[in-house]
């Protein structure tokens, strides 16, 4: 059994919670959970309800990080509706039935050729089609948007011929090239949808691979580009985390998502780190064990050095392009407990990525103030942890 450590972000008594929320609203009206205009259009509840099953098959076919892309594809294809939410009946995998475990389950290779009630068959087939498209289009990450568009258009046209053709024409999707391909290469009566890639991308955030998510980039030391997530983002703020939500208690996993995305180059968002925290027992109530910092660092092959309140080591780390996770106590950052990330030094003061406040993130802070308000009783070697590659 995991030994329980101390937690941050714990639920407050009701009267204190009301006061706390009032302070948040007064200080952080920019963190209400609404996304800015560079987020994607949100997917429907019907599509979102299929996320666990889509993730299951993305995991099975080794494209785990493309679940949000698969959901965006489903949204554009059908809005998540039966009988064929991925519109996969006409593809290479459409005849296989999970119910009968063979190709004799009543599937037909034609429009809506997957019977009602067999939505899982559609998802199984569609995710395999997406996997093949991503591979053939040479997509290397969920943020490789140019190649993702090629792959998604291939899902509509049929992959091999389209991808071979587009590679001979520069390898990058444009609507004009797609329309040319439709005119010249697709058969009469089956011209496809030339703007299919654009339709899918309406539901897929080019920044994070998460529908409606808003991401920022902050400047760290040594040219470090720090990925910024906010736990109040519309893409995940209402999602359950323990007994509350990511917005109310997910500061620890969100801060680690900032570190992981910045230092590994992988876009790992708060939805993923919060899910990992719950799965592995680091979420207690609506709070997070302090040991989440070394645990998630290890999970993503990052180095984590706990330095208690050693300000000299914090300064040296920031000067060399490393990040420092700080667990704050009551004061300027929180009324209770709150994780933030120290990102660099500017004009003698500390820059931060505070996942609970864009306003505080835009300010610089005295290290003496940060150290004085950091939790002295932090466990797992805190309240400061140096994170590096």
**Claim to verify: residue 233 and residue 123 sit in the same structural domain:** no
The pair of structure tokens assigned to 97 is 């039935």
Would you mind telling me the total number of residues written for the chain in this entry?
Answer: 389
The angle subtended at Cα 65 by Cα 63 and Cα 66, nearest 5°, is 70
Domain assignment of residue 171, yes or no: yes
210 domain-assigned: no
| pLDDT (tens digit per residue) in 166-220 | 999 998 889 999 999 999 999 988 888 999 998 898 888 543 444 445 567 787 8
Contact in structure between 212 and 39 (CB atoms under 8 Å):
yes
Q: What is the pLDDT of residue 17?
A: 33
Asked, for residue 19, whether it belongs to a domain, the answer is: no
Within a domain: 30? no
Q: Which of 203, 235, 260 is the last residue of a domain?
A: 203
51 & 192 share domain? yes
- Asked which of 203, 234, 251 is the last residue of a domain, the reply is 203
Is 111 part of a structural domain of the chain?
Answer: yes
CATH number at residue 140: 1.10.530.10
What is the tally of structural domains in the chain?
A: 2
Contact by Cβ (8 Å): 326, 340: yes
Task: Please tell me the predicted confidence (pLDDT) of residue 213.
Answer: 57
* pLDDT beneath 50, residues of the chain: 1-4, 10-40, 206-212
Residues 241 and 382 in one domain: yes
Same domain membership, residue 232 and residue 109? no
Residue 323 belongs to some domain of the structure: yes
Identify the pLDDT of residue 344: 95
Whether 233 and 193 share a structural domain:
no
Residues 231 and 355 in one domain: yes
Do strands 338-346 and 349-353 pair parallel, antiparallel, or not at all (unpaired)?
Answer: antiparallel
Domain end among 143, 177, 203: 203
Residue 307 belongs to a domain: yes
At 242, which CATH number?
3.90.70.10
Q: Kindly give the pairing relationship between strand 287-289 and strand 283-284.
A: antiparallel
Q: CA-CA distance, 158 to 152, in Å (whole number)?
A: 10
Q: Which of 2, 144, 7 is nearest to 63 (CA)?
A: 144
172 and 237 share one domain = no
Same domain, 181 and 246: no
What gap in Å lies between CA 33 and CA 261, rounded to an integer? 21
For residues 238 and 381, state if they share a domain.
yes
Structural domain of 351: 216-388
Residue with tokens 């080591």, as numbered in its chain: 313
């Amino acid at each position: 059994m995991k030994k329980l450590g101390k937690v941050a972000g714990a639920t407050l008594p009701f009267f204190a919670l009301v006061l706390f929320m009032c302070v948040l609203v007064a200080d952080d009206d920019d963190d209400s959970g609404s996304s800015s205009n560079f987020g994607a259009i949100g997917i429907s509840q019907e599509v979102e309800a299929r996320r666990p099953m889509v993730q299951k098959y993305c995991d099975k076919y080794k494209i785990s990080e493309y679940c949000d892309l698969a959901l965006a594809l489903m949204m554009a294809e059908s809005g998540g509706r039966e009988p064929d939410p991925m519109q996969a009946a006409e593809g290479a995998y459409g005849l296989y039935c999970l119910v009968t475990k063979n190709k004799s389950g009543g599937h037909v290779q034609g429009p809506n050729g997957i019977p009602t009630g067999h939505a899982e068959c559609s998802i199984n087939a569609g995710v395999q089609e997406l996997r093949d498209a991503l591979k053939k289009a040479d997509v290397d990450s969920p943020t490789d948007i140019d190649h993702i568009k090629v792959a998604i258009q291939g899902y509509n046209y049929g992959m091999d011929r389209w991808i071979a053709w587009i590679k001979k024409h520069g390898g990058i999707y444009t609507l004009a090239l797609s329309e040319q391909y439709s005119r010249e290469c697709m058969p009469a009566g089956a011209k496809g949808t030339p703007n299919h890639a654009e339709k899918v991308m309406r539901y897929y955030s080019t920044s994070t691979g998460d529908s409606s998510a808003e991401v920022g980039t902050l400047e760290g030391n040594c040219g470090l580009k720090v990925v910024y997530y906010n736990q109040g983002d519309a893409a995940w703020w209402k999602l359950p985390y323990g007994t509350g939500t990511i917005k109310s208690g997910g500061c620890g996993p969100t801060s680690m998502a900032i570190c992981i995305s910045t230092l590994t180059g992988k876009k790992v968002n708060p939805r993923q780190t919060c899910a990992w925290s719950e799965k592995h027992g680091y979420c207690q109530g609506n709070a997070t064990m302090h040991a989440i910092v070394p645990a998630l660092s290890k999970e993503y092959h990052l180095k984590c050095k706990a330095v208690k309140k050693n300000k000299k080591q914090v300064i040296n780390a920031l000067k060399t392009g490393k990040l420092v996770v700080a667990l704050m106590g009551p004061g300027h950052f929180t009324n209770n407990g709150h994780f933030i990330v120290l990102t660099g030094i500017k004009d003698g003061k500390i820059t931060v990525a505070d996942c609970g406040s864009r306003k505080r993130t835009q300010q610089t802070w005295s290290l003496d103030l940060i150290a004085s308000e950091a939790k002295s009783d932090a466990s797992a070697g805190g309240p400061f942890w140096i994170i590096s590659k």
